[in-house]
Structures are given as C-alpha cells and as structure tokens.
Chains A and B, each alone.
Chain A
Amino acid sequence: KQEVTQIPAALSVPEGENLVLNCSFTDSAIYNLQWFRQDPGKGLTSLLLIQSSQREQTSGRLNASLDKSSGRSTLYIAASQPGDSATYLCAVRHYTNAGNMLTFGGGTRLMVKP
C-alpha cells in the first residue's frame, strides 16, 4: 500500500529565508509526483508536476526534485514571502488494483512571518 509522508507537519520561518519541504513515499512504482498549495478552506493549486522519468522541475522561486529510487521528493522555496503562507501537499500518482489514483501526504503548514 502506498503511503506518503510529509515532514515537517508545520513550519514557521521569517521572511526571506530559503526553505525545504520534504515528501517521502513507500512504493517507487509511481507515474508522477505533484506538489500543490492549499489556502485555508480552499481547493488545491498545482505548483509543479514531475514525471517519473524526470529529476526536477522549476517554476519561479520553486524547485522540486524527485528521487524515485529512494522514494523522496523535496520542494525548495527561495526567498520566502508572507504570501507563501499556506499548506503544501505532495501527491504521487500510482496504480493499484482499485485503479490509478493520487495518494496525498498530510501536508506541511507553512507560515512566513514578515
């Protein structure tokens, strides 16, 4: 059974810091990994999608890496801003006998203080 874990569960940093969010998964047989942002009470905004054959993706101040063999992904946020405060979720797409699905981690709640 695929399990996704995110560490830390919560993080508070001063504005301007570079930070790393971690995601680990137990089964390396994945199709892709996606990082999302979720503001309180809102839906999910896709940040980055990494296919299983890729090692990293970049978008602006965000960089996500994928090491499929070790079951790990990191999301690097450069020069953090108060507007980055949100919950960050990683999810892996994989196939099970129930079909293909996204399995999510529990998220990291990020607070960037001015």
Chain B
Amino acid sequence: ETGVTQSPTHLIKTRGQQVTLRCSSQSGHNTVSWYQQALGQGPQFIFQYYREEENGRGNFPPRFSGLQFPNYSSELNVNALELDDSALYLCASSLDSPLEDEQFFGPGTRLTVL
C-alpha cells in the first residue's frame, strides 16, 4: 500500500471525447508525475508537477495537460481522445527532492478509447 490513490479504476470513452483522471498523493509529497503504459510495454513519462508547477514534460502532445492542487491531489486531462490513448495511466508521487526520492505509484486508471 503506497498511499497513492487514483480514480476511476476503469474508464471507457469514445474517440474525440475528453477525459479527466485523478490522483491523490501522500501528504507531504510535493512532486507528482504521470505515466502512460501501453499493453506489454514499460511506462512512458508524460509530465511532472512540483509544488503546482509543471517542471518536466515528455514527448506527448499539448492535448495532454495536468493540474496539481495544494491538497496533494492532481489531474491528468486528455482532450480529443484517440484510439492510441488506450492505456494504463499511472501517477507517482515523491517527497521534496524529485531527483533522488523514491517514486510511489498508484494502482492506475485503465482507459479504453473506442
């Protein structure tokens, strides 16, 4: 049990729709990162937030956006959904040192785009 929760567990959307995924980090964890994991592959880094500011972004288009709130919750928003967005979306949190600290992952949200 990592103390990181995600909602919803599963989600089915159709192409072109928008989706919001939520993550709740452990208290005191000021860094949150989001990853996309396609079936049979390792997770791919989407972006990272530190104290409510984006401080890193992987190779994902602008239709992937995020927010981090002062209460250690965060959101991943995806607009104009495409079939290839179907994946497991994972959030991870860590303490104040985003470079050195252990990453704690949530259970993920399984998104299916039809």
A and B bound?
yes
- Which residues of A pack against B, CB within 8 Å? 4, 31-32, 34, 36, 41-46, 49, 51, 89, 91, 93, 95, 98-107
Closest CB in chain A relative to B10 CB, distance in Å: 10
**Which residues of B are in contact with A by a Cβ distance under 8 Å?**
2, 6, 33, 35, 40-45, 47-48, 55-59, 88, 90, 92, 98-100, 102-108, 110
* Chain A nearest Cβ from B97, distance in angstroms: 9
- Enumerate the 6 nearest inter-chain pairs by beta-carbon distance, A residue then B residue, closest first: A99-B56, A104-B42, A44-B105, A43-B107, A101-B45, A49-B102
Q: Is the CB of A101 within 8 A of B48?
A: yes
Chain A residues with CB under 8 Å of B41's CB are: 106-107
Q: How far is the CA of A49 from the CA of B94 in the complex (A)?
A: 13
Q: A36 — nearest CB in chain B belongs to which residue?
A: B105
Query: How far does the Cβ of A45 sit from chain B's closest Cβ, in whole Å?
Result: 7
A87 CB to nearest B CB, Å:
9
Please tell me if the beta carbons of B107 and A46 are within 8 angstroms of each other in the complex. no
Bound CA–CA A34/B105 (angstroms): 12
Residues from chain A with a CB closer than 8 A to the CB of B56 are: 98-101
Q: How far does the Cβ of A10 sit from chain B's closest Cβ, in whole Å? A: 11
